[in-house]
Amino acid sequence: MAKLIEAVYGDALMETGKEKEILKQLLEEAEWLLEIFQANPELKLFLNHPRIATEEKVHVMEQVFGEAGQKEKKKSELSREMLGFLKVIVEKKRQDILDKILTYFADNVKEYFHIGVVFVAAPMELAADQKKAVEKKILETTSYETLEVHYQIDPSLIGGLVIRIRDKVADNSVKHKLERLKQQLISM
């Protein structure tokens, strides 16, 4: 089976990070870039515009994210490796999936460092001690050393929790239980 394009590029960036021992730095830069592209959709539109030459797109990337003739490193300056990676993406005309590539890369680096990315949905805001208990239970039942937990409120759940870690979902919500009961009654 062929590898997804984002996996090919994401894995290449990960290997570069491992070889040069800058994986955590590249992760920070990837997450920062994802924020930049989300906050500035016009930048993505520019990179995907068919009438703008590839050379111009690369030049703008260098100006926006490169040294740009400055002597001191600024927040907007990326490492040589990440800037080179962005140039390759643009030159290979893969900028339309740049967010998927960076997300794939970030997810895999977090797995590499045993950081679990967890999404928890609850019908109401959880108290701090409830959040601690959920996080403690997840750490006990997984191989993760730390967690990055994203909480969201979903009143339609009525009660219970829905926990998603990568492609696994634990749905212990009242809504889910009622749906199962409904299906059982229908099949009788």
**pLDDT tens by residue, 7-24:** 999 999 999 999 999 999
Average pLDDT value for the chain: 92
Q: Are residues 81 and 17 in contact, defined by beta-carbon separation less than 8 angstroms?
A: yes
* Phi, psi values for residue 23, rounded to 5°: -60, -45
Q: Return the ∠ at Cα 100 (arms to 95 and 102), rounded to 5°.
A: 85
**pLDDT tens by residue, 40-83:** 999 999 999 999 999 999 999 998 888 653 444 455 579 999 99
Distance of CA 49 to the CA centre of its chain: 24
